[in-house]
Structure 1
């Protein structure tokens, strides 16, 4: 498939050798719990894709990022899901840098160390949501001398067993005692952090999406990154950016899983040529829609509410097309392929979870309809 080959070439550009290293492992082994795919991602400089160049990263734009994630999803849907959480965290976190933003020396040192130390960041946020929900506190923060004690849980939390840093949304008092949203930067091995089994499905089983619990985990004041309650526009911009990145990247990963499934059908010439063409159109239309939306975001054609709404529409349309493509591909591969190999069924089942990522189509139906009719976009 031409577009998948192009995506894999882009992945090779940013992460030399990653695709080859993944392909050297049997597909089923890539997707099992304990798989080495996350370790390979770390070894091949996966962490720096969306980290700005000023902080040692690659600073990839949305189009290249979508292509890379599609390629990663075609090699390992589990890795694409896990990597999305790291990239989404990086994109949102580093959006607070780049100007006189009041970051502490400790915060800057930590952010500068992510790429050279190949640190993986797990998200303890309500990922993929916009407006106030991205930073709705997921854990409780209790002020103590020199910092805060954090308690709570995140489940599922991808990268739970490989994370070097856990970022958690918290609420802390500002200078006037009012609650202010903030991000706590927590060492993955900090005392009080424990990981517990949670993910019970065979699909995406290598993403390490288990439960992370925090019990009085101490975080020093200098590692709590305040988002600025006095500047709601800045907070809104950051939340919108994080939302847009999440929806594009997670959708692209699932598009990659579907593309790998379609590729099997085309290579084995299963079904009639009309069936194969119809299958390719479904999968390619989803990819082209996501990439086109990413290009519009990159080029500034979409901004603010328009960008959020467009990304949502692209995600839901891709979700429907990819689901249909997975069903048809599995049917065309046939019963003997289903019986003799788990690859097809694993890929097909790995496409489905896109529907479960927030926000659901049901929850956004009314706000989207109202927005399309001229009202502000008010997602909750």
Structure 2
């Protein structure tokens, strides 16, 4: 066997390109990952993908908490890093390529924290909480979207009752990533005051509260390390200081701005989720390109889709960095997400076909990555639910 043929076989059989190298076309993303979290980046490069994905979720959570900088999207004034959305998208793409479950964890944490940071002008009391997250490296679970069609991300079916001690919350969230590993959990609430006025707000619960119950929910092997199960709130008492209601969203904004408080979280989510799943597809594409299999046209189409999706996300991230969170911006964010979702589907399918049956039979991570890329379609919002809104805003 000649040396060149031997090299090709090694590349095709390895879960990722050799250590101390980088997945093709993710060089900028890798540089950002090393700049923001060098210890975690080194660990992920040195550890096989399936060892991470089938391991204990607590290991990933502890790594995220200790080395992953939970305060990346929090302003420097509040103790965070103040990282731009453009760089957050690059980071999530790199993490998604190396550990899909951690990318999902980080998506839920960062979109929540970034949404709160951007929304602090609507919810000024939340700045103290953000400072706590940054200084104490706390992980925040997202208890917002409940998978209901045509519902805003902060809308909730949880019941909220005002008492002398604050508010009593009942209900559940499933799936909830980091179920057993979060330090704080945030959730959307809709409170009706004695005058019949509905107030949209954000509530916060602490992991050690005995009123928070966890139930096993996720039963499939894919993304199991993300620890996505059910969280139940059984008469959870939330003090006034941990329940933040918007004083502006409903009555002080014009039609174009209405709902901005909701859009902050949704736009950030679409960016980070899209970047994470693009990273997963990139891992498959890199294997296919490294093996030098398939036609030149097949390889070119992989690169075209990867480049197009990357540039689309950079455009969305740029609008976030410009603090654009109106209804029209939400529509563009959703359109970008669905465009990237389609690209991820094409990339993973084409890469899987290029790699062929021998790679499927000899490398479990190939099949694993193909399946996890498909899970992007299950994240909110659904294309069907978004269609009327997109037609209204984009046509």
Q: TM-score higher than 0.5 here?
A: yes
Partner of 2:40: 18
SS in 1 for 2:135: coil
The 1-side partners of 2:124 and 2:64 are apart by 32
Partner of 2:261: 238
Partner of 2:372: 350
CA deviation profile, 1:191-237 (whole Å, cap 9, x unmatched):
11111111122222211111111111111122111112543567722
Question: Is this contact kept in 2: 1:10–1:68, CA < 8 A?
Answer: yes
Question: Is this contact kept in 2: 1:125–1:138, CA < 8 A?
Answer: no
Partner of 1:188: 207
Residue correspondence of structure 1 range 1-380 to structure 2 within 5 A: 3-32=25-54, 34-35=56-57, 36-97=59-120, 103=125, 108-126=127-145, 133-174=152-193, 178-228=197-247, 229-232=250-253, 236-299=259-322, 304-373=326-395
The 2-side partners of 1:141 and 1:370 are apart by 33
The 2-side partners of 1:54 and 1:83 are apart by 22
Question: Is this contact kept in 1: 2:107–2:269, CA < 8 A?
Answer: yes
CA deviation profile, 1:339-373 (whole Å, cap 9, x unmatched):
12111111111111111112211122233223333
Query: Residues 171 and 25 (structure 1 numbering): CA distance in 2 closer, same or farther, change over 3 Å?
Result: same
Question: Is this contact kept in 2: 1:182–1:227, CA < 8 A?
Answer: yes
The 2-side partners of 1:236 and 1:129 are apart by 18
Question: Is this contact kept in 1: 2:96–2:277, CA < 8 A?
Answer: yes
**What's the C-alpha RMSD, in Å, of the aligned pairs?**
2.4
Partner of 1:376: none
Consecutive unaligned residues of structure 2, counting only runs of 5 or more, are 1-22
Give the structure-2-normalised TM-score: 0.86
Question: Is this contact kept in 1: 2:146–2:156, CA < 8 A?
Answer: no
The 1-side partners of 2:68 and 2:223 are apart by 22
Consecutive unaligned residues of structure 1, counting only runs of 5 or more, are 374-380
The 1-side partners of 2:305 and 2:61 are apart by 30
SS in 1 for 2:134: coil
SS in 2 for 1:332: helix
- Choose 120-129 or 259-268, whichever is displaced more: 120-129
The 1-side partners of 2:196 and 2:385 are apart by 33
Q: In the TM superposition, what is the alpha-carbon distance from 1:172 to its structure 2 partner?
A: 2.9
Give the structure-1-normalised TM-score: 0.89
The 2-side partners of 1:28 and 1:61 are apart by 30
SS in 1 for 2:190: strand
State the aligned residue count: 368
The 2-side partners of 1:132 and 1:94 are apart by 22
The 2-side partners of 1:365 and 1:323 are apart by 20
Q: In the TM superposition, what is the alpha-carbon distance from 1:96 to its structure 2 partner?
A: 3.4
CA deviation profile, 1:95-152 (whole Å, cap 9, x unmatched):
23369x652xxx5443311112110001111179999712212421222331122111
The 1-side partners of 2:320 and 2:241 are apart by 33
Q: In the TM superposition, what is the alpha-carbon distance from 1:246 to its structure 2 partner?
A: 0.6
Q: In the TM superposition, what is the alpha-carbon distance from 1:168 to its structure 2 partner?
A: 1.4
Query: Residues 22 and 77 (structure 1 numbering): CA distance in 2 closer, same or farther, change over 3 Å?
Result: same
Question: Is this contact kept in 1: 2:78–2:127, CA < 8 A?
Answer: no
